[in-house]
């Protein structure tokens, strides 16, 4: 069974220009709430646009995905990052029947010309 997108979330983040970034900076998180009792889940996170830039990355820890800034940025600039969370679930009594649910976060990031 294929479900359409369950929810779309919009976030707006403002950042100063940064000349140095010592470690990746977490900008946003998405988390899947799972139910116990015979359900199996396969959860994946991905950036569904911005294939041409390496400024952003997704890190995943079980059912939580984090959008991270991995390189310094200078502004003024603006990015719209689409983070997709796909949850494929199946019930132990019917393991061949899977349900796929998709969640989308559209994160608009504004980079200031100044480092404040």
Domain boundaries along the sequence of the chain: 2-111
pTM, two decimals, is: 0.81
Lowest mean pLDDT of 8-12, 37-41, 70-74, 87-91, name the range.
37-41
Measured in whole angstroms, how far is the alpha carbon of residue 86 from the centre of its chain?
10
pLDDT confidence bin for 75, thresholds 50/70/90 = confident
Return the number of other C-beta atoms located less than 10 Å from residue 105's C-beta: 20
53's CB contacts (< 8 A; 6+ apart) are: 79
What pLDDT does 111 receive?
A: 94
CATH number for the region 2-111 comes to 2.60.40.60
């Amino acid at each position: 069974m294929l479900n359409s997108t369950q929810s779309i979330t919009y976030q707006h983040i403002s950042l100063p220009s940064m000349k140095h970034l010592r470690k990746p900076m977490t900008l946003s998180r998405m988390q899947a709430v799972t139910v116990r009792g015979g359900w199996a889940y396969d959860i994946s996170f991905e950036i569904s646009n911005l294939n041409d830039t390496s400024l952003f990355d997704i890190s995943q820890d079980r059912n939580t995905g984090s959008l991270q800034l991995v390189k310094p940025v200078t502004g003024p600039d603006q990015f719209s990052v689409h983070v997709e969370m796909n949850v494929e679930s199946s019930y132990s009594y019917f393991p061949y029947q899977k349900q796929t649910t998709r969640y989308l976060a559209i994160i608009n990031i504004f980079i200031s010309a100044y480092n404040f």
